[in-house]
C-alpha cells in the first residue's frame, strides 16, 4: 500500500526500543507499539533516538522532554537547564495540545511492521 512505511522486523522492536521509519519514531512501550512524528517540538531533535521511560512516555534525547505517545502531547517540558526558564514548560505543554506530534498506526503483517 502506497501510504505505508515499512519499519522492519517485528522481532527488532522489543519493549523499550525506539527506531526511525520515514518521518516516524516507532517504539514499543511495554508491548504497546506506537508511531509518532519524529521531530521534537522544542528544537527538533530526532525522537527516533529517544528512549521510553517507566511510564511509557517517549523521552527526547536532547533535553529530556517527555511525550504521551497516545496523544502526541508533551507531558514534561525541556530539562537539562531549560526547566529553569519560567513558563517554558507550560508553553510547550500548551503548544502540543494545539500541535501534538502526529501519530501513525503500527500494523504487523507476517513478521514485518509498517506504519500507516
Ligand atoms: S529538542 Fe527535544 S527537548 Fe529539546
DSSP per-residue codes, the chain = -TT-EEEEEGGGS-TT-EEEETTEEEEEETTEEEEEESB-TTT--BGGG-EE-TTS-EE-TTT--EE-TTT--EEE---TTGGGSTTHHHHHHHHHHHSPPPEE-EEEETTEEEE-
Which residues constitute the domain of residue 42? 5-103
Total domain count, the chain: 1
pLDDT along the chain (116 residues), means of 10: 87 97 97 98 98 98 98 98 97 97 97 97
Tell me, yes or no, whether 111 lies in a domain.
Answer: no
Determine whether the shortest distance from the Cβ of 96 to ligand 1 is under 6 A: no
Tell me, yes or no, whether 113 lies in a domain.
Answer: no
Tell me, yes or no, whether 23 lies in a domain.
Answer: yes
Q: What is the pLDDT of residue 2?
A: 57
Q: What is the pLDDT of residue 98?
A: 97
CATH of the domain at 58: 2.102.10.10
Tell me, yes or no, whether 20 lies in a domain.
Answer: yes
Tell me, yes or no, whether 52 lies in a domain.
Answer: yes
Tell me, yes or no, whether 21 lies in a domain.
Answer: yes
Tell me, yes or no, whether 112 lies in a domain.
Answer: no
pTM for the whole thing? 0.95
Determine whether the shortest distance from the Cβ of 65 to ligand 1 is under 6 A: yes
Amino acid at each position: 500500500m502506497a501510504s505505508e512505511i515499512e519499519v522492519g522486523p517485528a522481532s527488532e522492536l522489543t519493549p523499550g526500543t525506539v527506531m526511525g521509519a520515514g518521518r516516524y519514531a516507532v517504539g514499543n512501550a511495554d508491548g504497546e507499539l506506537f508511531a509518532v512524528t519524529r521531530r521534537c517540538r522544542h528544537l527538533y531533535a530526532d525522537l527516533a533516538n529517544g528512549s521510553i521511560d517507566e511510564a511509557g512516555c517517549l523521552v527526547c534525547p536532547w533535553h529530556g522532554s517527555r511525550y504521551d505517545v497516545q496523544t502526541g502531547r508533551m507531558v514534561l517540558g525541556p530539562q537539562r537547564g531549560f526547566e529553569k526558564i519560567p513558563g517554558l514548560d507550560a508553553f510547550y505543554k500548551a503548544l502540543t495540545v494545539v500541535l501534538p506530534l502526529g501519530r501513525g498506526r503500527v500494523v504487523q503483517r507476517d513478521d514485518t511492521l509498517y506504519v500507516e
